[in-house]
Structure 1
Amino acid sequence: MNKLMSVAAAASLAITALGTGFAPQAQAEQVKVPVMSQGERGSMALPKTGQSRETVRQRFGDPVSTSGPVGDPPISQWHYDDFVVYFEYNHVIHTVARHAR
């Protein structure tokens, strides 16, 4: 019975403390990293939007693998070790850096 009273008393004390503002406040630091600035993308040489397939091939060599084209307009992908290049028809529409391994 004493144990039950202690638990009830502790709960009552905690509720009173919360209601009066005497309870400790939890705080956390929030770190925000803007999209596209995670990792080392800024220091990587990547194909730019609008470049032709031929320009990408001349500068970065042959891709490790390719996929597509899929859809209309046709979208295809060239996979390199550190990034993937997305083409619409024959021009780069986006380049995505891979996570460091």
Structure 2
Amino acid sequence: MSSYDAPTGSTDGSSPAAPPRSGNPEPPEDSRARVGTIVWGLIVVALAVLIIVAQLGIVALNGTYVVIGLMIGAGAALVIGGLLSARGRDKAAPTGKA
């Protein structure tokens, strides 16, 4: 028997051992949503709303302008969200440097 082969039963061999149970698994400490995930979710929702508005005939949309506007908005949201996230991370984890 190698060091990796653990016995599967109790000491008398009559019943299999129960797998260890962790009472309440805790989520990782940094379980916040990522900025990129939120931005891409907003892009998908915005595209869906714009498609519905265009199909209803409420507003005539130019596809090129819609894509340009979404990319400008998404880029700005990613940059601003990244800066805010980095600023928050700097406050939360001091490195001891002055």
Task: Give the TM-score normalised by structure 2.
Answer: 0.23
Give the structure with the higher percent helix. Answer: 2
Task: Give the TM-score normalised by structure 1.
Answer: 0.22
Give the structure with the higher percent strand. Answer: 1
> Rg bigger for which structure?
1
Relative CO higher for 1 or 2, CA cutoff 8 Å, sep ≥ 6? 2
